Amino acid sequence: MATGRLSPSQAILRGTFIVGTIDAIDALVFFGLRGSTPIRIFQSIASGALGRAAYRDGLPAAALGVLIHYFVAFGIVTMTIDQLYFNDPDGTRVQLSANGYQG
């Protein structure tokens, strides 16, 4: 495995997958323990765009919910990567921040 810094686009793609997946698993476990189904969870996300029709549209609405979920994760990761790569090119602020968490 190659070592070194990821390009911004690689970091965004990997970060989107990781953040979106972990958040989806969290939602599936949290709401699943309260009786909700995975399709219903993602229909709820799609209801932001489709309204109540999301709950009648079945699997296509749930698929739209998954796409919206990952699109939001993409936006969050993109903004974070922008700050890390372009507003702190030498990584000093990130390193100083990380050092603050050491005991």
Q: In this predicted model, what pLDDT tens digit does every residue of 30-87 receive, in sequence order?
A: 999 999 999 999 999 999 999 999 999 999 999 999 999 999 999 999 988 887 777 7
Considering the domain boundaries, does residue 10 fall inside one?
no
Domain annotation covers residue 4: no
Assigned domain for 97 exists: no
Residue 102 included in any domain? no
Residue 102 has pLDDT above 50, yes or no: no
Q: What is the pLDDT of residues 74-86, one digit of tens each?
A: 999 998 888 777 7
Which among 53, 70, 94 is positioned nearest to 15, based on CA atoms?
70
Number of domains in the chain: 1
Provide the residue range defining the domain that includes 42: 17-92
